[in-house]
Structure 1
Amino acid sequence: MDLVRHLRYFTVVAEELHFGNAAIRLGMAQPPLSQRIKRLEEELGVRLFDRSARQVRLTEAGRLLLGEARDIVARVDRLRELARHGDGAVLKVGVPPDLGAAVIAALVAGFRDSNPDVRLAPAESWTADQVTSLTGGSLDVGIVRHPVTAPGLSFGGTLVQTQGVLLADGDELAARAEVHLADLAGRELLMPPKEGEPGMYAETLAECRRRGYVPTQVHEGSGLGLVMAGAAVAFGAGQDTPGLVWRPLIGAPLAIRVSTAWRTATDTVADFSSVAAGVLQDNAGMAARAAAPARRVSRRPGALA
């Protein structure tokens, strides 16, 4: 168990005294947050919160732990900051685990060109964990997927990545030029973990159901072995690769929204955000989200101009 991370979760719940609000602040779903608090209580052998249908209160043990937990979290953040400055200028960046090695390499190279004196340190983690790390100060900037609510964080411009379907190269649907979501009925689906990408997970499955595809089972992970074996399908953007066939979805019903996120704005963070936008468009099939069309107002006959 990552004790420091669990103590960070505890301090946020203790400050909010509401698991739902704490989950929103941490950028994660409520059930996994409750599970992690329970795991911390089991590890420490004490009950930290009194929970009821109406309120959440700290127990005496929880009140005693809160000051110590805040101090431990602050000290760990300070140690990381000292280590970072002691090893030269470093920008710690969160990237999705399934972003792809070529895209990450392009990010590193592009940032190096504009900031040769700063070392980019990418760390693979899903959106919910990035939000926690950004809020706690152990990441400087991240690449996150929306929807995500995280008070205290700022976000860069939104990019959109239209999703197609990844199939085993022997799948009968691979013979088609395009695939309708309803054509996937009866098939299992591979997705990023719900705990790591709660917003995107919920939106994707809701749209699948609306279009006539209810997966018989949803697997969670980033490896594509199940898809290559023909045991599941997955959504993504890209092209055919050995063992896999990519096909567009009719009507482009699925799209992932991505942006950079940060807690503290600096010139270096702004530079990374700019580089990331270009790299994601050039190397990951993303596009800037179009502005909403201006609303046309109809005037009543005889109204003054």
Structure 2
Amino acid sequence: MDLVRHLRYFVVVAEELHFGNAAIRLGMAQPPLSQRIKRLEEELGVRLFDRSARQVRLTEAGRLLLGEAREIVTRVERLRELARHGEGGLLRIGVPPDLAASVIAALVAGFRGTNPDVRLVPAENWTADQVTALAEGTIDVGLVRHPVSAPGLEFGQMLVQPQGVLLAEDDPLAGAGEVHLADLAGRELLMPPKEGEPGWHAETLAECRRHGYVPGQVHQGAGLGLVLAGQAVAFGPRADIPGLAWRPLLGSPIACRLSTAWRAVAGQRKDWVAEFSAVAVRTLKESAGMSEEGVAPARRISVRPGMVA
């Protein structure tokens, strides 16, 4: 068990006295948070919270532990800051697992062009995991999919990419000029994992229902195997992928919104974070067809199997 991480979860729950609010603050789902608090209680051999349907309260043992837990978490964060300062020119970034390799390469090349002495270290994580990693200081800046709400984070410029629908090339809708969401009735849908992208998941399914499309089943993942097999459809940017057909959605009801995110206190990496954010905006516009206005360029872009160009 990662004791420090579990103590940090405990501190946040103790400050919120509400598992749902604490989960939002940590950028994770509530059930895993409850399980980790239970694991911590089992490890320590004490009950830390009195739980009821209406209220969460600290036990006497929880109150005694809280001050020590805060000090431990603060000291570990300080050690991590000192270690990062010793690493010199290193900026750790989070990127979505479905971001195209060509876009990641363009991000690294663009940043290196203005900061040749700083090495970018990308880590592939979904938005919720990036929020947690930013709070814990294990990454310096992330590229997150909205909507996302996390206290203590700042966000860069929002860029928007309208999504079309990806279908098997022999799907009857593959020959349509535009597809209405309601035309997808009866088809199953492939989306990024709900725990990793809770905001995008909820917002997209709500928009589908509003336009008359209720998926028969929602699959979770980043690859497009189910779409290639004709068992599901997926939303994504305009792309040429063998075996698949991409069609625009009437009225562009589904859109992917991305921005950079970082902790409000970025320490000595503040300038690097700002520079990376600027590079990310340029790269997402030029290499991923994103825009401030939410209208993607007409040109086609090739992507790896995934949802973000």
Superposition TM-score, scaled by structure 1 size: 0.87
**Residue 235 of structure 1: SS of its match in structure 2?**
strand
Question: How many pairs does the alignment contain?
Answer: 290
Equivalent residue, structure 2, for 1:24: 24
Match of 1:279? 283
1:52-131 superposed matches below 5 A: 52-131=52-131
Give the deviation of 1:67 after TM superposition.
Answer: 4.5
Structure-1 separation of matches of 2:97 and 2:40: 26
Relative to structure 1, is the Cα distance of residues 238 and 82 closer, same or farther in structure 2, using a 3 angstrom cutoff?
Answer: farther
How far apart, CA to CA, are the structure 1 residues paired with 2:139 and 2:279?
17
Change (3 A) 1:117 1:207: same
Q: Distance in 1 between matches of 2:90 and 2:121?
A: 7
Q: 1:228-267 alignment to 2 at 5 Å?
A: 228-263=228-263, 264-265=265-266, 266-267=270-271
What is the RMSD of the two structures over their aligned residues, measured on CA atoms? Answer: 2.1
Counterpart in the other structure of 1:180: 180
Shift of 1:192: 1.0
**Distance (Å, rounded) in 2 between the aligned partners of 1:5 and 1:220:** 27
Superposition pairs of residues 1-16 of structure 1, within 5 angstroms: 3-16=3-16
* C-alpha deviation, 1:24, in angstroms: 2.7
Normalising by structure 2, what TM-score? Answer: 0.86
Q: Percent identity?
A: 78
Report the 3-state secondary structure (helix = DSSP H, G, I; strand = E; otherwise coil) of the residue aligned with 1:150: coil
After TM superposition, the structure 1 stretch with the greater mean CA deviation from structure 2, 159-168 or 240-249, is: 240-249
- Give SS of 2:260's match: strand
Superposition deviation, residue 54 in structure 1? 2.4
Q: Which amino acid aligns with 2:277?
A: S
Distance, in Å, in 1 between the alignment partners of 2:66 and 2:196 is 26
Tell me the residue number matched to 1:227: 227
- Once the two structures are superposed, residues 111-155 of structure 1 have per-residue CA deviations (whole angstroms, 9 ceiling, x without a partner) of 100111111111111111111221222221111111111121111
C-alpha spacing 1:5/1:273, structure 2 compared with 1 (3 Å):
same
**1:206 aligned partner:** 206
Find the residue that maps to 2:144 and give its secondary structure.
strand
In 1, the alpha carbon distance for the partners of 2:209 and 2:124 equals 30
Instruction: Please state how far the C-alpha of 1:237 moved relative to its aligned partner.
Output: 0.8
Structure 2 stretches lacking a partner, 5+ long: 295-309
Structure 1 consecutive aligned stretches of length 4 or more whose deviation exceeds 6 Å? none
Q: Distance in 2 between matches of 1:3 and 1:175?
A: 55
Q: Partners in 2 of 1:81 and 1:8 — Cα distance? A: 16
CA distance in 2, matches of 1:2, 1:12: 16
Give a deviation string over 1:29-80, Cα, whole Å, max 9, x none: 4344334434544565553321112221223443454445445544543444
* Matching of residue 142 in structure 1 with residue 137 in structure 2: no
Give the direction of change, closer, same or farther, for the CA distance of 1:7–1:232 in structure 2 (3 Å limit): farther
Distance 2:224 2:40 in 1: 33
Q: Is the aligned partner of 1:159 residue 2:163?
A: no
The amino acid across from 1:172 in the alignment is P
Distance in structure 1 (CA, Å) of the matches to 2:226 and 2:81? 40
Given that 1:204 and 1:254 are in contact with CA atoms closer than 8 Å, whether structure 2 keeps it comes out as: yes
Partner of 2:307: none
User: Secondary structure of 2:54's match?
Assistant: coil
Amino acid at match of 1:59: T
